[in-house]
Every structure is written in structure tokens, then in C-alpha cells.
Amino acid sequence: MYTTTEIQRRLVRFAVAGVLLLPLWGFPVGAAATDGRTGDAASRQASMVRATAVAIDARKDTARLTFTLTAGVEAKAFLLERPDRVIVDLPEVNFQLPKNAGRPPAGKGHFIGSFRFGLFAPERSRVVIDLREPALVGRVETVRTATGAELVIELNKATRAAYRKAALRPMVDSGDGLPGQQPDTPKAVTHGPKNEALPLVVIDPGHGGIDPGAQTGDGVLEKDVVFAFAQRLRDMLEASGRYRVMMTRTTDTFIALGARTRVARQAGADLFISIHADTLGSGGGVRGATIYTGSDLATDLESARLADKENLADQIAGVEATEDPDEIVGILADLTKRETRTFSNSFAGNVIDSFKGTVLLNKNPHRSAGFRVLKAPDVPSVLVELGYLSSAKDAALLVSDEWQKNAANALNEAISRYFSQRSPTEKAGGVAFSP
Ligand SMILES: [Zn+2]
């Protein structure tokens, strides 16, 4: 927690340290500007500033990233440590760039890792540059050109001490809209019947916006694959008329991990299903779907590594990670958690049964590890890894219409079986224990 004066002091110190936290000059983008609340989605898209190209010039001590824009924007830069990242905040920009544009530049001897760009919160875009070695922001500027503008980000190599002095400390709870702050909890968007008696299923498409998740060699992004799948599943569940359905994100935007579970809990979800499709470092041979449940102890090393990787999502987007407070404490909490875990495990079993014969399963299809999105103490939760984008065969299936339809169908069946096994009044959050 920071007081306003402390924040001001920090900002002053920060500005003195020579890092740019200044709104740089911008110029009007045309009458419609980027106000999406007044126009429809299409006209908003059309009026938005677009980034149409990016070039990177990485040398030993300096690096320059240049985004070609259709008009100028205001940009603010700041640094985060552990890992070292340069964050550049912008108004919403429509990035029309190749999906693999953010790969680390070729050649050795420079300090630039990969970089990401995308929507960070409503009407806010962000560029995050991973640093291999400490560097300070020398210049962030939009320069007018004949056809629009260029956003120039210049970085200069620095010592660790200088970097540390300049990097902002975590300010997640400041509530002042400062950099590094977690975006607001997304608005709950429900679909399907409004009947409160129907079970509420929350579908959580992994990653989004600035956090692309895993990707294949030819630029297929996990965030897109899982979003397409989640939409399909949502439509299917809605059409059945048997559930209320909610998505943690309905667009390509970043949602912090804690916000995903918070939304589910606040809405009184009966089931939380997080959808992912990751890569494995150990080669392209490993295939198949895996259903994960949450646990403090991982079943195996691979699962532990995967959970660690997934738990980095906030960091990737330039948000400082915080532990979510456990809202229920005491004996009842333990009973609730245990009960929730039992339901999560039984749903994982349902999914595996439904996938058999339709969706290829990993050789150990039910695993558990400490995924942050599976930490709701009172909502049965699973994380479904649909397959591995690191396997060419899996990747081809994951993007195919036919496979997606069959897999969503199987998941729909599993959900139906799960709820038919539970009595209508039974809920993990309010389990009655017989004496
Ligand atoms: Zn993922």
C-alpha cells in the first residue's frame, strides 16, 4: 500500500533517475478519435490508430524499436525488474503486425529479448520489451512522417545499479492508475438463459491481449486458438439451455490471473474451466490433451514447470504479481477446499471419459500443480490443455474446425455428466456435512 505522497515521491525520484514518464506530444487522430463508446465496433476499429510495421535495430549498447503508425499517440515508458522489462503504455492501438513480429532480433551481443504488444485493458495498449541486460529508456517519441507517424523507443545499456534506481517498485494496490497496476476486474458477461437456478459455468480462455501465450513456428498463437475454442464451447452450452455461461474475456484483451478467479467467485460459479494449449520444451513428440486440477504439490516435474510458466502471465503483461488473499479461513475453509478439490477431480475424470475416442489424451491425462487460476477455494476448477502447440500434429488439429467441434462437444458431454451426478442444491461453497 502506498500513500499519495509516497507515490508522488517515488515518481519524482523516478523522473529524476532519467527515465521517461512524461506524456509525450501527441496530435489529434481525427474527429472520431478512439472513443469506442459512441460508435459501433467497426467504426471504432476504423478510426483507431494502427501500427502497420515494426523495425528493430539492436546493437551492443543501444537499441531502437520503431513502430510505423497511422497517427501520433501519447506514450509513457517505465521499467520493471525481476525480470527486467521495459513497458510502454499507449492509448488503444490496432497492431496490424505479423504474429511473430515480437521475436528477439537476430544476432548476438545485444541486450534485447522478445517483445510483445497488444491490448492491456479497455482502451489501453502496451508494448513490453524483455531485456537480457539492464537498459534505460533514452527516448520515447512519436515523430510525424509523410504518411502518419513513427513511435520511436530508444534504449541504452546501463548498470544494474542505475536500472534498479529507475525501476518502479510494485504498485499493484495503489489504486491510482499507476504503471504496473493490475487492470480492473473484468465486467461479468453472462450468456444464455437468465434463470438463476441453472448452474453457472465460467469458461476462461487463457492469455489474451499483450500476453499471446505459446506459439508455433508459423505464428499460431495460443490466445487465439483457445479463444476460438472457448467461444464454440460457450455457444454449445448456451444452446443446450441447461446452463448460464460466462467468459472471463470476450475479446483479445489481457486479464490478470487473479481477476479470472475473482470474477468466477463473485458470480457464484459452479464450475470454472480454463482453456489452454501450450508448448513443451522437450520436443515435438509429446502430444494429447491433459486435464489439470490445482494442488500445492505437483504430480510431476513437467506439470510444475507448466504451472510456473502459466503463472507468469501477469509478469508478461507488465503487471506485478501478487498472491490473492484466501478469503475463507478456518476449519470450514479446509472442509470447503477439500470438497471443492473432490468435485474438481471428479469433473477431470468426466472430461477424460468424454475425450476418450474423440480427443487424443496425453499418456498421463490427469495431473495437478499449483496453477494460480485454479486457486478458488469454493469453485470446482480445472485447466484443460487441449494439446501441445509444440507438436506439429497437435497444432494442425487444434486449429481445425472439425477437431474443435468434436472436442467442444466432448467437453459439453462431460459438463452434462458432471452436473447430472450432483444434486441440484449441492454446491461446494455451502456443503452440508452430515453429523
Ligand atoms: Zn497457456
**Got the DSSP string for 107-130?**
SSS--EEEEEEEEEETTEEEEEEE
* Distance from Cα 174 to the centre of ligand 1, integer Å: 28
Q: Is 189-430 assigned to CATH 3.40.50.300?
A: no
DSSP 15-82: HHTT---SPPP-----TTTT-TTTS-HHHHHHHSEEEEEEEEEE-SSEEEEEEEESS----EEEEETT
* Distance from Cα 426 to the centre of ligand 1, integer Å: 31
Contacts of 94 (CB under 8 A, 6+ apart): 45, 48, 49, 50, 51
Contacts of 178 (CB under 8 A, 6+ apart): 7, 168, 171
* Distance from Cα 122 to the centre of ligand 1, integer Å: 22
Task: Report the C-alpha gap between 184 and 340 in whole angstroms.
Answer: 27
- Bridge partners, residue 291, by sequence: 366, 384
The residue type at 217: G
Task: Report the C-alpha gap between 159 and 134 in whole angstroms.
Answer: 6
Task: Report the C-alpha gap between 417 and 240 in whole angstroms.
Answer: 13
Could you tell me if 347 and 380 are in contact, meaning their C-beta atoms sit under 8 angstroms apart?
yes
Determine the angle formed by the axes of helices 401-421 and 331-355, rounding to 10 degrees.
130
Q: Which CATH code is given to the segment(s) 4-166?
A: 2.60.40.3500
Name the residue among 248, 162, 145, 156 with its Cα closest to residue 202: 248
* Distance from Cα 361 to the centre of ligand 1, integer Å: 17
Helix (H), strand (E) at residue 369: strand 361-369
Label the pairing between strands 289-294 and 381-385.
antiparallel
* Distance from Cα 200 to the centre of ligand 1, integer Å: 23
Q: Which cell goes with 258?
A: 487473479
CA atoms within 13 A on the CB side of 375: 19
Instruction: Give me the tens of pLDDT residue by residue for the chain, a chain 435 residues long.
Output: 344 444 444 433 333 333 333 333 322 222 223 333 344 666 666 779 999 999 999 999 999 999 999 999 988 888 887 788 888 989 999 999 987 888 888 888 899 999 999 988 888 899 999 999 999 988 888 899 999 999 999 999 998 888 887 775 433 322 333 344 444 455 555 655 667 789 999 999 999 999 999 988 888 999 999 999 999 999 999 999 999 999 999 999 999 998 899 989 888 899 999 999 988 766 667 899 999 999 988 999 989 999 988 888 888 887 765 555 555 566 667 778 888 999 999 999 999 999 999 999 999 999 999 999 999 988 999 999 999 998 999 999 999 999 999 999 999 999 999 999 875 444 444 443 333
* Distance from Cα 310 to the centre of ligand 1, integer Å: 6
Q: How far is CA 162 from CA 21, 132, 434, in A?
A: 16, 15, 62
pLDDT of residue 203: 97
* Distance from Cα 124 to the centre of ligand 1, integer Å: 23
Secondary structure class of 431 (helix, strand, coil): coil
* Distance from Cα 422 to the centre of ligand 1, integer Å: 29
388 Ramachandran zone, left/alpha/beta (phi>0; psi -120 to 50): beta
Please calculate the CA angle 157-159-164 and round it to the nearest 5 degrees.
Answer: 110
Task: Report the C-alpha gap between 102 and 116 in whole angstroms.
Answer: 6
Could you tell me if 93 and 49 are in contact, meaning their C-beta atoms sit under 8 angstroms apart?
yes
Q: Which cell goes with 401?
A: 474446425
Task: Report the C-alpha gap between 73 and 24 in whole angstroms.
Answer: 8
pLDDT of residue 24: 32
**Inter-residue long-range contacts of 345-351, CB under 8 Å, 24+ positions, other chains counted:** 345/293, 346/418, 346/421, 347/271, 347/380, 347/382, 347/414, 347/415, 347/418, 348/291, 348/292, 348/293, 348/382, 350/414, 350/415, 350/417, 350/418, 350/421, 351/291, 351/382, 351/384, 351/410, 351/411, 351/414
Task: Report the C-alpha gap between 413 and 418 in whole angstroms.
Answer: 9
Q: Which cell goes with 59?
A: 546493437
* Distance from Cα 213 to the centre of ligand 1, integer Å: 5
* Distance from Cα 212 to the centre of ligand 1, integer Å: 9
* Distance from Cα 121 to the centre of ligand 1, integer Å: 19
pTM (predicted TM-score): 0.72
What residue segments make up the domains of the chain, in order of their start?
Answer: 4-166, 189-430
Secondary structure class of 356 (helix, strand, coil): coil
Q: Dihedral sign for Cα 25, 30, 35, 36, please.
A: negative
